Structures are given as C-alpha cells and as structure tokens.
C-alpha cells in the first residue's frame, strides 16, 4: 500500500471547522488510494497557554512535569481528529507517542527520537484505518513522557514517514510554503518552489520557525520527500529535497532572524590545549545546546572563548561557566542577554562571491552594529542587538532582493 504522512500544525486544527477541513484533506488522500498517517499538533495557541499555566504556579517548573503537561495538547487534538473522521464516515484510530513506541532519550523538553515502533501503525493501516498520531511527544526508557522541543511535531511526522516507508511527508501549515524569509516580518518574501535539505537545515537552525530543524535532518538522512504547503488552499507548496545543480544559480535563497539568544564570553582563558574541551564538556553535562562558538587567541598566553545559546538556557550556561571559570584560569565572564542573529543562506555562496560584502554593507547603511560574525559554507550570520533585529532582517532581505522569485535572481 502507498502510504503518506500528513502533518497538521496548530493553526490548521485550531477549532472544529479547521479540524473538519484538515479531515477532508486526509479523506482526499484515502480516496486516492493512500494509507494515511496523520500527525497533529496541539490546537491553536494551546501549548503557549499550557506553558503560561505552568509558569503561573511555578516560575521554574520541573522539566519532566512540563513534558507531562504539554503532551496533553496533542493528545486532545488526535482524539478529536479521529472523532471528526468517524463522523464523516471513515474509520480512524488515534495514538499518543508512547502508544506507538516513539522512544526518545531523557532530555526533557528537548528530547531526541531514538526509535519508532512501526508495527502498530502498519497493523491499523492494514485494517483500513486512518492512523492519527500525537506529534511532539515520545517516551523514554523509563516510560516518562518527553517532548521534542517547540515545533517538534514536524519531526514526529518526518521521522514517522521514514520509519513506515511513506512516499511523502506533507506538512500543512498557515503559509503557502517556505518563503525567502518570514512573511510576518518581511511581507514581500517570495515563495520558494524547491529547496535543498542543506539550505533548509541552516534556515531552520537559524530561526525559520516554519520547520523544526530535526525534521529536516531526518528528511535528509532517510531520504524523505517533504512538501510544506497550505492547509487553507490547494496550491503547491515547497518541496524540500536533494540538491540539483541549478539550485547553485541562486546566491542567497533565504534570510532568517533568530531572537531570544544570549552570548557568553569567557575572557582571557589560558591558551593551553584542553581548555575548550573542558568548557564544552561542562556545558554538555548541563544539557545546554550551543549554537555558535568563536575562540580567538589574544596573546601567546591567553584566548577569548564566546558561544551563543538560546536565552532559555542562559541560567544553566552561566552556572556551568562559573563552575569552570577557575579551572581554565578565566579573567572574567561577559554575558549578553539581548542578542539576535540575522543570517543569509544559499548553496550558491559556494560558487559566487560578494555575499558578505553586500550583507555587511546593508547593515552598515542601516546603522546596525555587528556584535559577532559566524559562517558556514552556505551561511553568514551576524549577531546584532535584539532591538534592531527585525529592521536588520528587512534591510538584508531588500539588499538580496528576496521579494523576487528565485528565477529573477538566478546567476549563471
């Protein structure tokens, strides 16, 4: 049987009419001969509401309890979805992450999928049922409920698509596909028809909230065709796929802003082998995810070591830095909690020059100070003041003409 995974995000299942609308998409695929596995998110802003409820009772809630609570949002959607399908004349069954053995590690609130039991899903599909799975959640080896990080239902969907051998994974959302930038900030952003896994991975890691980064990683690793599209209209969205040579003709495919970042600098640590290893071993023990690392020798004896993290990890990271400070003979610790990162991404950067010059020029003209710069082969990121972040993104988008579709920006 041909199988398709269809994932519906929060806005696409926010109320009864929207769930019915989503159910119609599912029925269409069933009528086209597919076995359908649905992955659903919590309705509307429910996850935000649950977070707020938790913080009202405890400003620092235990992460295990947070996962136990947040997973209920998705659990409600999947049973409602199954009920809607039954009412429309189709057999459906819903499952939580635990019920389909979505096994993860024990990093509560940012767990990573380790394995998925596909048998239960195949059994139900063979019986002719539509299977509906709660996104964003799993269980660890001790049966504790875990969640995959905000936006993690995308990852559930792509990982499931890989595990059950689906032909395609459709991600239904509130935009027509991946755009050159967040259309909520840069209104003129153009829709992208096709994008490589590598570009999407960089965009997702650096702030394009439309896809969870781990979902793209799974897609690339297990060769899952991902189609990001609108749940409101029938138009084709964006296919995330392997790179083809003509993609290189576009120098910059997209731009992002990542807010809520912080930077910790260990100033004047001893310039001796093993110190960076000590610092990052400590951060990893504290389960802090580090985004960018910059180390510079400032004299034969001393070096500065800076790293970027999400604001939510700041307390844990500061504590870890304080604990390791003396061991690496650090003069002082400098912390910034008001940082955002603006990035441009494109595989065309491998073969075309001038991107850095254009980006820095646009920021200079807009009087945006650059705190630090990091790059990969296909990305340039500038850390800037959070207050200027959206303006900085807009000027960068304008400089690279990201309001125009790719075919108008292609170079030979």
Residues that bind ligand ADP (CB under 6 A): 9-12, 41, 151, 173-175, 178-179, 181-184, 208-210, 254
Rank residues 208 and 378 by Cβ distance to ligand ADP and give the closer one: 208
Site string for Mg ion, 136-175 (x = CB under 5 A): ---------------x------------------------
Rank residues 175 and 392 by Cβ distance to Mg ion and give the closer one: 175
Rank residues 42 and 397 by Cβ distance to ligand ASP and give the closer one: 42
Q: Give least dist CB 123 to ligand ADP, A.
A: 28
Site for ligand ASP in 276-305 (CB under 6 A): none
CA-closest candidate to residue 17, choices 231, 210, 228? 231
As a whole number of angstroms, the distance between CA 225 and CA 222 comes to 9
**47 contacts ligand ASP (rule: CB under 6 A):** yes
In this structure, how many other beta carbons lie within 10 angstroms of the beta carbon of residue 251?
21
**213 contacts Mg ion (rule: CB under 5 A):** no
CA angle 247/253/255 to nearest 5° reads: 165
Around 221, how many Cα atoms within 13 Å sit in the side-chain half-sphere? 12
Q: Give least dist CB 45 to ligand ASP, A.
A: 8
As a whole number of angstroms, the distance between CA 405 and CA 401 comes to 9
| DSSP-assigned states of every residue in 171-229 | EEESSSS-BSS-TTTSTTPPBPSEEEHHHHHHHHHTT-TTS-HHHHHHHHHHT--EEEE
Laid out side by side, the sheet with 137-139 consists of 113-116, 102-104, 137-139, 145-147
Q: What φ, ψ does residue 380 adopt, rounded to 5°?
A: -125, 130
Rank residues 62 and 209 by Cβ distance to ligand ADP and give the closer one: 209
Site string for ligand ASP, 66-95 (x = CB under 6 A): -------x----------------------
Site for ligand ASP in 121-160 (CB under 6 A): 135-136, 150-153
Around 222, how many Cα atoms within 13 Å sit in the side-chain half-sphere? 22
List residues binding ligand ASP (CB under 6 A). 9-10, 41-42, 47, 73, 135-136, 150-153
Binding site for Mg ion (CB under 5 A): 9, 151
């Amino acid at each position: 049987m041909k199988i398709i995974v269809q994932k519906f995000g929060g806005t696409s299942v926010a109320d009864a009419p929207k769930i019915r609308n989503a159910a119609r998409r599912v029925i269409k695929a069933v009528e086209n001969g597919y076995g359908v596995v649905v992955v659903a998110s919590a309705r509307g802003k429910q996850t935000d509401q649950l977070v707020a409820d938790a913080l009202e009772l405890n400003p620092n809630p235990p992460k295990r309890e947070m996962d136990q609570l947040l997973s209920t949002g998705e659990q409600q959607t999947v049973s409602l979805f199954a009920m809607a399908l039954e009412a429309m004349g189709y057999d459906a069954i819903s499952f939580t992450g635990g019920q389909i053995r979505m096994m993860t590690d024990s990093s509560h609130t940012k767990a990573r999928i380790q394995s998925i039991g596909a048998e239960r899903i195949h059994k139900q599909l063979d019986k002719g049922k539509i299977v509906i799975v709660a996104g964003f959640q799993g269980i660890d080896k001790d049966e504790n409920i875990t969640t995959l990080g905000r936006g993690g239902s995308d990852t559930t969907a792509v990982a499931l698509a890989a595990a059950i051998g689906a032909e395609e994974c459709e991600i239904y959302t509130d935009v027509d596909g991946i755009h050159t930038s967040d259309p909520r900030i840069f209104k003129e952003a153009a829709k992208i028809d096709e994008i490589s896994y590598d570009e999407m991975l960089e965009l997702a890691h650096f702030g394009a909230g439309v896809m969870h980064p781990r979902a793209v990683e799974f897609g690339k690793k297990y060769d899952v065709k991902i189609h990001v599209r609108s749940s409101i209209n029938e138009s084709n969205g964006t296919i995330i796929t392997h790179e083809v040579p003509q993609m290189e003709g576009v120098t910059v495919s997209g731009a992002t802003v990542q807010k809520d970042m912080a930077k910790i600098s260990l100033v004047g640590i001893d310039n001796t082998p093993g110190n960076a290893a000590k610092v990052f071993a400590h951060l990893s023990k504290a389960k802090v995810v580090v985004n960018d690392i910059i180390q510079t020798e400032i004299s034969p004896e001393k070096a500065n070591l800076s790293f970027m993290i999400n604001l939510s990890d700041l307390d844990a990271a500061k504590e870890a830095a304080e604990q390791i400070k003396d061991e690496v003979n650090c003069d002082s610790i400098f912390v910034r909690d008001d940082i955002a990162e603006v990035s441009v991404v494109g595989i065309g950067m491998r073969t075309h020059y001038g991107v850095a010059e254009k980006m820095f020029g646009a920021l200079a003209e807009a009087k945006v100070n650059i705190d630090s710069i990091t790059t990969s082969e296909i990305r340039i990121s500038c850390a800037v003041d959070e207050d200027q972040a959206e303006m900085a993104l807009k000027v960068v988008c304008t400089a690279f003409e990201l309001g125009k579709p790719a075919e108008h920006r292609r170079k030979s």
